[in-house]
Chains A and B, each alone.
Chain A
């Protein structure tokens, strides 16, 4: 006899696309850069990939305030932990600290997080912590409202044992596809790659991304289009 979960709220959309994938030697984290309040884009160049320690970063989605405060607390505790431990914290410890906060404050927080990093014991690891505070170690993780459009893409495109270049290309392509279809995602694509050698940040503005269906080539000015004769009619 079970109590039916009558209030099984379908999860709220969380304006963002965030991704974390493992590859042979490390992890690649990716995100869009749009922060919205309702229909207004409050920040079109946000950085949603936040540093927790030198070797562990976190992608934030959902409430900006909630995700920021969680990352601030975890950074503070991890800093103390690192001092006590005498060496870099493991990704697992960082992820479990985030889980503690997310789980014990589940009634008040609305943030989905992806933790990714590299440590000398386990190598590159990705942990997903969705709403509610479940912790799941995964070869790759996607989150935010834009991720709805990526489940099928990753089912098809994900492979075990990719190289760093393949993983980065996959992440950029995926965030770009999500931005194309999700109104709550936009701006630029940011990636952070973490491996034994360290951390590399990359940035992909719109003109560096591939064009998808019904998207036009970027132009510097409308005048450029007009001066090349009458514009081509859009083919439907």
Chain B
């Protein structure tokens, strides 16, 4: 039996995992997801980053929750979007809150940008995968720092890359071809939103776990990010 002393190494040590009750056998196995989110789509546009995802939380084949926010801001510069197991995403948000807090406590004027946050998440995801205890998510991480736009993705097995347009889940198959065709360097905000809307419509048509309530976040060039929380009901 694969026991070993499951040491609380630095990657696991957050207040959330210094848990109240822990037995050694429990985190040795791969789990399966229960409450899941579907695709996330992200693009770079002229002034920054746009992310879109629906607000559904599926429970097997039941569309159980319809107000789940799967896109969140991280620190001053970044946005994160998650598909997969929602409880693991909530845990990732706790890790990130601690990360940003520690960063702020230096009080040195520097703040973690999207590239750094993406790298941190990559290490977390890959190391969990190596212990056969993955966080069952595919993440999109985007943002702007000092005028530099960044957009990347990382999933439960630690595969990570950056690109001008990324997607998770069904989005890989349905949204990316559309984006490869119609994306260009100088998309305006309006053009970007229209393009994302096109992707989300196709996903609603063809993805059984999609719901017709969307969340859209954007991140602008400049020191401070602003975010739009649009919950639009489509047909």
A141's closest neighbor in chain B, by CB? B65
**A-B pairs under 8 A by CB, number:** 90
Stretch at the interface among A27-35, A82-90, A127-135, A221-229: A127-135
Cβ of A101 within 8 Å of any chain B Cβ, yes or no, is yes
**Number of B residues, CB within 8 Å of A:** 41
A2 engages B57 (CB within 8 Å): no
B61 engages A10 (CB within 8 Å): yes
Chain A residues with Cβ under 8 A from B62's Cβ? 148, 151
What's the minimum C-beta distance from B128 to chain A, rounded to whole angstroms? 13
Interface residues of A in 64-106 (CB under 8 A from B): 73, 77, 97, 100-101, 103-106
B17 engages A104 (CB within 8 Å): yes
A5 engages B155 (CB within 8 Å): no
Chain B residues with Cβ under 8 A from A73's Cβ? 20-21
**Number of A residues, CB within 8 Å of B:** 30
Stretch at the interface among B33-41, B42-50, B180-188: B33-41
Chain B interface residues toward A at CB < 8 A:
16-17, 19-23, 26-27, 29, 31-36, 57, 59-62, 64-65, 67-68, 83-87, 90-91, 136, 138, 155-157, 159, 168-169, 172
Chain A interface residues toward B at CB < 8 A:
1-3, 5, 7-11, 73, 77, 97, 100-101, 103-108, 130-136, 138, 148, 151
Additional pairs, 10, CB under 8 Å, beyond known A73-B21, A77-B20: A2-B168, A2-B169, A5-B136, A101-B21, A104-B21, A105-B23, A106-B31, A130-B59, A132-B87, A134-B86
Q: 11 A–B contact pairs at CB < 8 A?
A: A2-B138, A2-B155, A8-B36, A103-B90, A104-B17, A104-B21, A106-B87, A132-B35, A134-B34, A136-B65, A148-B62
